[in-house]
Amino acid sequence: MALAEEPHAHSHDIRQEMRELEDKGEIKIQRVVGPYEEVEVAHGIKKKIPTTHLYQHKSCGQCTNLPGVPASSMYVYEQLGIDYLNDMEHTSCTAWNYHASATNNLVSLAAAAVRNWHRVYETGYNLDVHCVTSFGNYQEMRHLLVTKKEIRDEVRKIMHAIGRELVIPEEVVHNSEVMYVLRDQIAAKAKYRFDGLRAVDHIGCHFYKIMNDDVIGGAKPIVVRELGKTLGFDVQDYSKWFHCCGFGFRHILVNREFTRSALRVKLQAIQREVDPDVILVNCTGCGTTIDKNQWIMKAVGENYSYPALFHSQIAALSLGADPYKVAGINFHATPVEPVLKKVGIL
Amino acid sequence: MAIDFGDLKVYERMTQDPRFEDAYQGCLSCGTCESLCPAGQFYDYNPREVVEATGRADEAELRNWLENKIWYCAQCCSCKFRCPRGNSAADLVMILRDIAVEKGWAKEALEKYTRILKTILTVGNQLSPDMIAPDFFPDWGPRVAEMSKHKKEWRAELGIPGLMPIDRSWAVPAHVIKELLDIWKLSGAMDRVEATNPFLVELAWDNIEEALEDEKQAAEASHT
Ligand code: SF4
Ligand code: SF4
């Protein structure tokens, strides 16, 4: 563990390097707008997490499979009086396709990222990314654009051709990081608490394993578990917390037996060591994999029914959101109802 | 199907990728990546081997990976996160996948990806609710079948603007999709689609022409 926690050759203070590139006129930085909270990440660096003017950068996987997740995010902001924008003029980040098939090349991936960032910049809102795949990709694309001149030059050319500029956000922020800094505000207004429910968390690999220097909590991310604890969950440790859920980008579609096998390793450890009421998640791919693949485990004589609940869903439900019309629990394959009955939400 | 590599030097081509200098920094052969790799648990696959083969510039072994093994990786990046040298088997695999697709050697691996590509190139999203059909996901159980049946009304109940369509994840407008297509064209990504799914390229441009026309007409109608 000690070695893994040391900075990699590719971890660095990207913000300083961005400022230097901006001084040379190579890029434009979109600075955080309005109030923010500073939270420490690697090397003592402070990451600014904006708490208003939040551009809802939606996730195609969430909007398709579990649309109650983005709906919950927007509900939480409404309840707390926080300004947000649900804009349609961003595309998918296309990183799922890239990691699955490589049919889009690296430059197209970086250019798709910058196009979306530039759109966020022209609205004057702060980037609030719903998806962990997009979040990890945007962190990696920011790293490559800042450190590799050839990618920067190619992307700048493409941006000019489509009438945009090479803008990079000062902070790439995930929705679960925003909910983490808002956790006390959410708890103060909560209509329901989850006291008495046991939980484990599973953090999306691309939240912290692609770029390891911009993560709240360091080598073991804390955003979801701390939000969960603040709302009353008894969040427990388990040995396979680091283990990939099995999503695998291509595997969930074309090598499904791998997805099920890898998830089974995780579920077995969770059942043996904790047997919780819920699994708390922040990642589109993991949430989908964990939610959708428990039923089929009956085929190997194993019974699991651990609802996968996202950070935004627990926040919204605690604030009194309708479980169906906001949190969208009807879209879940693993039933959420029994758990909500336990705490009086249903 | 064996690949005809011609005169391609795989190692040399890998070193030209901008990610290479981060991804390979000398291997200790410690086995950390091997011990935590989920793909290695279920396939004849070991991330240490691709890193070591890179270190040796082992052309035969790199070709072997390029032919098949690269498609087993789950891209979880656990290897990258825990490697004491900061190597990334995940990125070496992506560099090799890039080569395979660029050269048109990935037809088999991409066989079931046509629908995803079509979705990106026609609606600007990678997924859409109408793709979650029970006959494609029977292993997801009865609640998903129910959801599929009620997808329109349940989405309407959520009442989130832009989340009603079922042919895309959210209502990405045509002029935005056009920008994404231009990006794919200018970056050379469209050439890769041409190499694997030529009919999709034509379909994408035809579709966007029509969608832009519809958008223009709708804008004019709303003005009058
Ligand atoms: S963890 Fe790193 S150093 Fe160890 S075997 Fe894997 S690539 Fe080599
Ligand atoms: S990214 Fe690929 S090689 Fe690395 S640990 Fe995950 S599955 Fe294994």
More confidently predicted of B217 and B222:
B217
CA A241/CA A123 separation, integer angstroms: 38
Interface of B with A in 19-58 (CB under 8 A): 19, 22, 25, 36, 38-39, 41-43
DSSP three-state, residue A198: strand
HSE (side-chain half, CA atoms, 13 Å) at B121: 26
CA distance B222 to chain A (A): 18
- Tell me, yes or no, whether A324 lies in a domain: yes
Residue A88 confidence (pLDDT)? 97
Mean pLDDT for A88-99 is 94
Residue A43 confidence (pLDDT)? 79
Question: B71, B77, B81, B97: which to mutate for ligand 2, most atoms within 8 A of CB?
Answer: B77
Q: What angle do CA A44, A45, A47 make, to 5 degrees?
A: 135
| Highest mean pLDDT (candidates A203-217, A241-255, B35-49) | B35-49
Mean pLDDT for A73-95 is 97
Q: Contact B183/A162, CB-based, under 8 Å?
A: yes
CA A56/CA A90 separation, integer angstroms: 10
Judgement on whether residues A148 and A259 belong to the same structural domain of the protein: no
Give the ligand with the smallest distance to the CA of A246. 2
Q: Can you tell me the ipTM of this complex?
A: 0.96
Question: SS in 3 state form for chain B?
Answer: CCCCCCCCCHHHHHHCCCCHHHHCCCCCCCCHHHHHCHHHHHCCCCHHHHHHHHHHCCHHHHHHHHHCHHHHCCCCCHHHHHCCCCCCHHHHHHHHHHHHHHCCCCHHHHHHHHHHHHHHHHHCCCCCHHHCCCCCCHHHCHHHHHHHHCHHHHHHHHCCCCCCCCCCCCCCCHHHHHHHHHHHHHHCHHHHHHHHCHHHHHHHHHHHHHHHHHHHHHHHHHHC
Q: Where are the alpha helices (DSSP H) in chain A?
A: 2-5, 14-23, 60-65, 68-79, 95-101, 106-123, 132-147, 149-161, 175-181, 183-189, 205-208, 223-230, 251-254, 256-273, 284-292, 311-318, 337-342
B157 touches chain A (CB under 8 A): yes
> Domain residues for A310?
192-342
- Tell me, yes or no, whether A228 lies in a domain: yes
* A213-258 per-position pLDDT tens digit: 999 988 899 999 999 999 999 999 999 999 999 999 999 988 999 9
| A25 CA distance to ligand 2 middle (Å) | 38
Is residue B14 within 8 Å of B92, Cβ to Cβ? yes
A168 touches chain B (CB under 8 A): no
Judgement on whether residues A78 and A166 belong to the same structural domain of the protein: yes
Of A175, A209, A225, the position where a domain reaches its end is A175
Judgement on whether residues A200 and A86 belong to the same structural domain of the protein: no
Task: Report the run of H or E that residue A85 belongs to, with start and end.
Answer: strand A84-85
- Tell me, yes or no, whether A181 lies in a domain: no
Interface of A with B in 19-48 (CB under 8 A): none
Residues in contact with ligand 2 (CB, 6 Å cut-off): B 37-39, 47, 73-79, 89-90
Mean pLDDT for B153-178 is 94
Contacts of A115 in chain B (CB under 8 A): 179-180, 183
- Read off the pTM: 0.96
| B51 CA distance to ligand 1 middle (Å) | 7
Nearest Cα neighbor of A5 from A237, A218, A207, A223 is A218
Mean pLDDT for B136-155 is 91
Residue A133 confidence (pLDDT)? 97
B112 touches chain A (CB under 8 A): yes
B176 touches chain A (CB under 8 A): yes
Of A145, A175, A205, the position where a domain reaches its end is A175
Beta-strand relationship, A36-40 and A198-202: unpaired
* A8-20 per-position pLDDT tens digit: 545 567 999 999 9
Judgement on whether residues A256 and A311 belong to the same structural domain of the protein: yes
Mean pLDDT across chain A, nearest whole number? Answer: 95
Is residue B110 within 8 Å of A80, Cβ to Cβ? no
Judgement on whether residues A157 and A196 belong to the same structural domain of the protein: no
| B52 CA distance to ligand 1 middle (Å) | 8
Mean pLDDT for A304-331 is 98
Judgement on whether residues A258 and A157 belong to the same structural domain of the protein: no
Of A140, A175, A210, the position where a domain reaches its end is A175
DSSP three-state, residue A182: coil
Q: Contact A248/B74, CB-based, under 8 Å?
A: yes
Q: Which of A141-150, B28-37, B96-105 has the lowest mean pLDDT?
A: B96-105
Residue A49 β-bridge partners? A37
- Tell me, yes or no, whether A19 lies in a domain: yes
Chain B nearest-CA residue for A211: B81
Mean pLDDT for B204-216 is 97
Chain B nearest-CA residue for A132: B76
CATH of the domain at A265: 3.40.50.11810
- Tell me, yes or no, whether A6 lies in a domain: no
| B31 CA distance to ligand 1 middle (Å) | 6
